[in-house]
């Protein structure tokens, strides 16, 4: 399949932050084959006219728990620990594969419609998620969020359920769909496991060439309890076991310290900034400008839709920008360009993916935003409009891995009516009782 985009205005997300004007972008198979003001030679299977629209790379949402879409708006008004223990964990205990499939389908639809082409997800029932993602067409780094609550001396990888999950997930799904699915190793968090699991997961990731996905220093209490238990921060505690010796993403990092950032910069650990979730749960504000200045790669995530209430990464881009400008009393602390980098190129780097930019050879992960929409007129600067004015609903096309999967409100790989029916008739009654159907 080949596609030629004409009359293209595009943010290429290259090192010079180039805007292509009245240009052409060509796609062959799953990759971009041409970018420029000259029309490429040859015939194309389809031609898409981009007049009135702005193209940018699809978003990379680097921290999600996608089936938690089923818990959108549930248990609001609580801090992280109360919200988890009183609302989320009891609901999650009722989940089965069919409900997870329904929640994943709904979450994927929302993400695709708002311009996401690649995610990093951490959740249970991971093979079910992998199947849904494969069919939907976006790329995903999937992990199962390893926990271990038993006595450290009783740990065995043969009896630890999440070690078995990790092995099965890796063997069955790593590299599936010609790399569409990558499996990451994962430790849910320092406070939900102990040293034997950290050591096993670090060794397993290194031996199998996997990335690593961990929640880090999301709340003050979690961070301080780790200091009390181990005399070190979560970043430095896990560093002792080699957890950061592979490509790694650390979600949240709200209470991380300059010493943590030095470890992260040296070892190439990316921070995933989740501003909406952190503010909604009252967790705090991650020191993102300082982390960037310290050489840490910072990407952007929504977190689960239970603590964000939306999968619209436009919300997080805007929030990241205005939040840090406000905290720093500096309108240059987080420019539109930096916010766009968090959501695209930095996310791609965090996940080890050849996406997040528009260049020959990069994955054909592209979105079109309708700049004829009232909220995007006038346009003095495309980046300003994309970060501070646009919403996910302004996305009119999503191409993932060279295939158009969403166009003008239509889902081309998902059956949204069937998904909504499954959510309403099966998943919600299972989790919350008949009254919620
Ligand atoms: Zn999370």
Per residue in 36-58, pLDDT tens?
Answer: 999 999 999 999 999 999 999 99
Residues 123 and 176 in one domain: yes
How far are the Cα atoms of 110, 187, 216, 276, 287 from residue 123, in angstroms, in the given order? 18, 11, 16, 20, 26
pLDDT digit string, tens, across residues 334-369 = 999 999 999 999 999 999 999 999 999 999 999 999
Under the banding of pLDDT at 50, 70 and 90, the label for residue 59 is very high
Distance 65 CA to ligand 1 centre (A): 7
Rg, the chain, Cα only: 21
How far are the Cα atoms of 3, 54, 121, 174, 288 from residue 61, in angstroms, in the given order? 25, 20, 9, 19, 17
Distance 303 CA to ligand 1 centre (A): 5
Residues 114 and 40 in one domain: no
**Domain interval for residue 369:** 2-57+360-411
The DSSP secondary-structure symbol of 84 reads: I
Predicted local confidence at residue 436, as pLDDT: 55
> Residue 435: pLDDT above 80?
no
In which residue are the tokens 């940018």 written? 56
pLDDT digit string, tens, across residues 183-218 = 999 999 999 999 999 999 999 999 999 999 999 999
Under the banding of pLDDT at 50, 70 and 90, the label for residue 78 is confident
Residue 23 lies in a domain: yes
Mean pLDDT computed over 413-428? 97
Under the banding of pLDDT at 50, 70 and 90, the label for residue 434 is low
Distance 64 CA to ligand 1 centre (A): 6
Contact between 55 and 367 (Cβ < 8 Å): yes
pLDDT digit string, tens, across residues 214-241 = 999 999 999 999 999 999 999 999 999 9
Residues 73 and 213 in one domain: yes
Phi, psi of 291 (to 5 degrees): -65, -45
Distance 67 CA to ligand 1 centre (A): 12
Predicted local confidence at residue 300, as pLDDT: 98
CA distance 14 to 24: 16
Read off the CATH number of the domain in which 398 is found: 2.30.40.10
Q: Which residue blocks in 55-210 are alpha helix, DSSP H?
A: 80-83, 89-92, 97-113, 126-136, 161-173, 176-179, 195-208
Residue 212 lies in a domain: yes
| DSSP assignments along 339-365, one per residue | HHHHHTHHHHHHHT-S-SS-STTSB--
Of 334, 351, 368, which marks where a domain is finished?
A: 351
Predicted local confidence at residue 374, as pLDDT: 98
Q: Which of 353, 383, 148, 387 is nearest to 270 (CA)?
A: 353
Under the banding of pLDDT at 50, 70 and 90, the label for residue 96 is very high
Residue 431 lies in a domain: no
How far are the Cα atoms of 56, 67, 132, 313, 420 from residue 180, in angstroms, in the given order? 20, 19, 12, 21, 25
pTM above 0.85, yes or no: yes
> Residue 76: pLDDT above 90?
no
> Chain-wide mean pLDDT for the chain?
96
Distance 216 CA to ligand 1 centre (A): 9
pLDDT digit string, tens, across residues 119-131 = 999 999 999 999 9
> Residue 79: pLDDT above 90?
no
Distance 75 CA to ligand 1 centre (A): 16
Q: Which of 265, 276, 268, 318 is nearest to 301 (CA)?
A: 276
Q: Which residue blocks in 231-328 are alpha helix, DSSP H?
A: 234-239, 258-267, 275-280, 288-293, 313-328
Distance 123 CA to ligand 1 centre (A): 9
Read off the CATH number of the domain in which 180 is found: 3.20.20.140
Q: How many CB atoms lie within 10 A of CB 358?
A: 26
Q: Indicate the number of domains in the chain.
A: 2
Distance 254 CA to ligand 1 centre (A): 13
């Amino acid at each position: 399949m080949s596609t030629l985009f004409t009359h293209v205005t595009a943010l290429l997300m290259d090192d010079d932050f180039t805007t292509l004007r009245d240009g052409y972008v060509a796609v062959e198979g799953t990759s971009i084959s041409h970018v420029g003001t000259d029309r490429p030679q040859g015939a194309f299977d389809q031609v898409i006219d981009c007049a009135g629209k702005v193209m940018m790379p699809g978003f990379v949402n680097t921290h999600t728990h996608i089936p938690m879409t089923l818990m959108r708006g549930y248990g609001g008004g609580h801090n992280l620990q109360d919200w988890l223990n009183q609302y989320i964990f009891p609901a999650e205990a009722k989940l089965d594969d069919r409900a997870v499939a329904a929640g994943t389908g709904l979450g994927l639809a929302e993400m695709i419609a708002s311009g996401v082409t690649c995610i990093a997800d951490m959740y249970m029932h991971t093979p079910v998620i992998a199947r849904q993602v494969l069919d939907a067409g976006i790329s995903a780094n999937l992990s199962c969020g390893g926990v271990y609550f038993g006595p450290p001396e009783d740990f065995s990888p043969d009896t630890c359920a999440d070690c078995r999950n990790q092995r099965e997930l890796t063997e069955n799904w790593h590299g599936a769909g010609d790399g569409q699915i990558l499996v990451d190793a994962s430790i849910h968090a320092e406070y939900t496991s102990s040293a034997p699991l950290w050591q096993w997961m670090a060794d397993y990731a290194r031996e199998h060439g996997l990335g690593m996905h961990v929640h880090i220093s999301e709340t003050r209490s979690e961070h301080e309890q780790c200091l009390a238990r181990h005399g070190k921060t979560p970043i430095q505690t896990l560093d002792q076991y080699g957890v950061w010796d592979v490509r790694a993403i650390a979600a949240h990092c709200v209470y991380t310290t300059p010493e943590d950032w030095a470890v992260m910069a040296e070892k190439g650990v990316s921070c995933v900034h989740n501003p909406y979730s952190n503010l909604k749960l009252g967790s705090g504000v991650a020191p993102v400008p300082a982390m960037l200045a310290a050489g840490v790669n910072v990407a952007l995530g929504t977190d689960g839709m239970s603590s964000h209430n939306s999968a619209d990464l436009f919300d997080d881009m805007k929030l990241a920008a205005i939040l840090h400008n406000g905290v720093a009393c500096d309108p240059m602390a987080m420019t539109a360009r930096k916010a766009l980098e968090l959501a695209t190129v930095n996310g791609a780097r965090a996940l080890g993916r050849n996406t997040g930019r528009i260049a020959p050879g990069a994955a054909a992960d592209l979105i079109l935003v309708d700049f004829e929409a009232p909220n995007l007129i006038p346009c003095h600067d495309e980046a300003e409009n994309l970060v501070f004015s646009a919403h996910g609903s302004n996305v009119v096309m999503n191409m993932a891995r060279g295939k158009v999967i969403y166009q003008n409100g239509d889902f081309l790989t998902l059956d949204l009516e069937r998904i909504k029916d499954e959510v309403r008739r099966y998943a919600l009654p299972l989790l919350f009782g008949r009254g919620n159907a």
